[in-house]
């Protein structure tokens, strides 16, 4: 009896070990697929917020024509960041839709490129008013999702929403861009949890294709 129990315990341990390595391999494969699906790198970006004065500063190594792609990915990231907070997601959607339809409840100044004389980070002397919050890279089909590199969380949340509003206002509501922006926001609000890996960015990639 003891021998049988011991054998069963060993078998369970072996199954657990095998299961662990199988899951690790699957996760690694999904991660590799997601990396491959990003496409070519288009450039790096850094965004700065002055939430007290509703000002957004963006510096980037990609050209202005890629702002549409950048905007759609940032909208998608904003909704994903608030996954599970439905009242907040509705509030975000209402603010973005109002901006996309030319009826923004808040106006945000958009500085692109942001003047470096006005930009600073926590390790620097705050001579400027634009505080560095996020930085990352932009690819053809994805964007980095930095969560926190400085500042407080309330300012970060307000700034990310303000960033999207500012770029929407900068691009304008007319034509394919405005229509695709509205459809993306509505899809983000009404859709369920996003896919994993390469499928995670399906919504903003579809929106971007609609503008071409």
Predicted TM-score (pTM) of this structure: 0.81
pLDDT for position 128: 73
Q: Which residues of the chain have pLDDT under 70?
A: 1-36, 122-126, 147-152, 174, 192-194
Q: What is the dihedral of CA 35, 23, 76, 190, to 10 degrees?
A: 140
CA distance 17 to 20: 5
CA distance 48 to 130: 5
Question: Which residues make Cβ contacts (< 8 Å) with residue 21, sequence separation at least 6?
Answer: none
Residue 144: its H or E element: none
CA distance 199 to 36: 12
pLDDT for position 27: 43
* Dihedral angle sign, alpha carbons of residues 55, 94, 65, 74: positive
CA distance 166 to 96: 10
CA distance 13 to 16: 5
Give the chain's mean pLDDT: 83
């Amino acid at each position: 009896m003891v021998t049988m129990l011991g054998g069963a315990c060993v078998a369970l341990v072996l199954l657990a070990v095998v299961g662990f390595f199988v899951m690790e391999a699957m996760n690694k494969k999904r991660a590799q697929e997601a990396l491959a699906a990003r496409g070519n790198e288009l450039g790096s970006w850094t965004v700065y917020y002055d939430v007290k004065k509703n000002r957004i500063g963006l510096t980037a190594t990609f050209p202005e024509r890629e702002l549409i792609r950048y905007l759609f990915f940032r909208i998608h990231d904003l909704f994903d960041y608030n996954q599970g907070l439905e009242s907040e997601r509705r509030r975000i959607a209402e603010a973005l839709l109002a901006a996309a339809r030319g009826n923004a409840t808040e106006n945000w100044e958009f500085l692109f490129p942001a003047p470096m004389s006005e930009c600073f980070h926590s390790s620097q002397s705050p001579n400027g008013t634009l505080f560095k919050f996020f930085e990352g890279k932009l690819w053809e089909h994805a964007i980095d999702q930095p969560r926190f590199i400085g500042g407080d969380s309330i300012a970060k949340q307000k700034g990310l929403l303000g960033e999207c509003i500012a770029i929407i206002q900068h691009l304008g509501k007319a034509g394919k861009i405005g229509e695709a922006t509205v459809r993306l926001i509505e899809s983000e609000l009404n859709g369920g949890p996003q896919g994993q890996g390469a499928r995670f960015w399906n919504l903003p990639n579809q929106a971007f294709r609609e503008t071409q």
